Amino acid sequence: MRDSYSLQLRFVVPSVFRRPAAFPLMLALLAMLSPGCGVQAPPPAPATAEPAVAVETSPAEQVLQRMIAAYQGAQSYHDQAVVRLKYRQQGQWFEDEGELSVSLVRPNKLQLRAYQLTLVSDGSRLYAVIADPGSDDLDGQVVVRTAPPRFQLDTIYEDRIMMDVMSGGMGGPPVTLELLLSDTPLRELLASSRGIASAGEGTIRDRICDRVQVKLEEGQLVFWVDRESSLLLRLEYPADHLAREMAAGNCSDVSLTAEFLEARIADPLADDEFVFAVPETAKRVTRFVLPPQPLPSEVLGQLPDEFFFTGLKDERITRDSLLGKVAILLWFNDHPASQTAVSELERIRQTLASDPTLAFYAVCTEPSSVSHAQVQALVRRWGSDVPLVRDLQAFGRDVFRVPFAPTLVVMNARGIVQIFEVGANPNLAAELPDRLRLLAAGEDLAAVQLAQFRQRQLLYQQNLTERSRLVPQDARTPRDRMR
């Protein structure tokens, strides 16, 4: 796993396909629509070359050609676009949206809002920021660099983190960037198609559109092109693969579309459309630097304050009573995720049952209104006989800083927290036993993790300093100059 923040998208999608790997179709389309595939302008023909032979094109292809020409010839462009995922879950309809708006005045004024990314160029400076609460907006970084004389796709996509943010979104980067900024828009996409055909006309907000269906290996991509302006008003993504992914979350009737609301060209755009105010506290850099993954908890490597749990016979299990053994504590509640975690813990306990140096406890967070007998019956329904205790005084919250159940905490024989994992890990039974054996043999896993974290922090600061030094002098703050 890459040691960096996993940037969290601001729209919420079912967890079954939150991971980027669950968007292979979108990433495949991205590969066709991005400069990383080697989409380059064709070399000029030699002076002695024969005149090109005209190739007859179908009406559907002519619609796409007119659309491409409209974007390529536009001196300005503006939209308020969104990508919209619509699906039904347990009989109820849901919609999730991500922003994909673009404003452009050639040659080099641009405002782009794509999911968490905001990029603005006023023609002199280019600014970019990523909204990511989990990393404090990438540790407060703001990209500041000289604006290019003319915007091209590489200007945006050369920053790998910007590219990752857009490619991780529901629909990938805005196709309008490709249409506006590429020298050969959609060339590889159309070349890889299995056919281009008319899908009849349609209407969007009283605008008559020619619908063009591009058949791909992954499914059908449908362009809704305004008949009057030749602008793209809607893009329907192939949804078959996505629907299969989401079926695991009991979702059906899945559709994914990009809606290019208020799309227009040739209209004047005010200069304040391209204004970006850099916060005084921002860390100015020429490219984003990923902060290191934070430690899972501030108690890692620490001896926690005193605590106690209540056994099902009302006995107390204290911090000191656990000394001398490796203590495996799993906070759980009445929830399917906790069921998964408890089942994994039971498999580990059975595998290592003969090891007297280990002490397993499932720590119930249900309130005292739930009886000991009810807790025991719940866990037995889950097929587990792991020893049970109650955290009736909320020591998990107050001492261990457990954010929610399930959370796994492992302490060594001296009571030092060695492992802190939040959430259900379906591979816990395969991963944890080896670490427990190391702890039983006296290894200090937390010390190793803390040392690695300090090294990553040092490397991050070095990279941050280097990127800050490259910021144009007149855009740097006194603090930047001191780095």
pLDDT at 39: 31
pLDDT at 35: 39
pLDDT at 458: 96
Q: What's the length of the chain?
A: 483
Q: Which of 25-34, 120-129, 189-198, 270-279 has the lowest mean pLDDT?
A: 25-34
Average pLDDT (334-344) is: 94
Cα 347 from Cα 5, distance rounded (Å) = 31
pLDDT at 28: 40
Residue 200 confidence (pLDDT) above 80: yes
Least Cα distance to 173 among 129, 237, 227 occurs for: 237
Task: Tell me the percentage of the chain whose pLDDT exceeds 70.
Answer: 86
Beta-strand runs (E) in 319-383: 326-332, 358-364
Helix (H) or strand (E) holding 139: helix 136-140
CB atoms within 10 A of CB 180: 20
8 A C-beta contact, residue 417 and residue 444 = no
Average pLDDT (320-344) is: 96
Three-state DSSP string of 374-433: HHHHHHHHCCCCCCEEECCCCHHHHCCCCCCCCEEEEECCCCCEEEEEECCCCCHHHHHH
Residue 2 confidence (pLDDT) above 60: no
Task: Tell me the percentage of the chain whose pLDDT exceeds 90.
Answer: 74
Q: Which of 24-38, 177-191, 294-308, 381-395 has the lowest mean pLDDT?
A: 24-38
Residue 335 confidence (pLDDT) above 60: yes
Using one digit for the tens of pLDDT, what is the confidence trace for 252-305? 999 999 999 999 998 899 999 999 999 999 999 999 999 998 999 999 999 999
Query: Regarding predicted confidence, which is higher, 135 or 328?
Result: 328
- Mean pLDDT estimate for the chain: 86
Residue 447 confidence (pLDDT) above 90: yes
Listed in sequence order, the DSSP H helices in 216-335 are 240-247
pLDDT at 275: 95
pLDDT at 154: 87
Buried b / exposed e along 384-405 (16+ C-beta atoms within 10 A): bebebbbbeeebbeebbebeeb
Residue 158 confidence (pLDDT) above 90: no
Using one digit for the tens of pLDDT, what is the confidence trace for 220-264? 999 999 999 999 999 999 988 888 888 877 899 999 999 999 999
Buried b / exposed e along 1-22 (16+ C-beta atoms within 10 A): eeebbebebebebbeebeeeeb
pLDDT at 245: 85
Residue 47 confidence (pLDDT) above 80: no
Query: Regarding predicted confidence, which is higher, 463 or 241?
Result: 463
Residue 474 binned pLDDT confidence (cut-offs 50, 70, 90) = low
- The one-letter amino acid code at 361 reads Y
DSSP letter at 51?
A: P
Q: Which of 30-34, 82-86, 277-281, 478-482 has the lowest mean pLDDT?
A: 30-34
Cα 477 from Cα 276, distance rounded (Å) = 16
Residue 481 confidence (pLDDT) above 70: no
Q: Which of 38-47, 157-166, 239-248, 416-425 has the lowest mean pLDDT?
A: 38-47
Residue 320 confidence (pLDDT) above 90: yes
pLDDT at 45: 39
Residue 308's φ and ψ, nearest 5 degrees, are -150, 150
Using one digit for the tens of pLDDT, what is the confidence trace for 134-144? 889 999 999 99
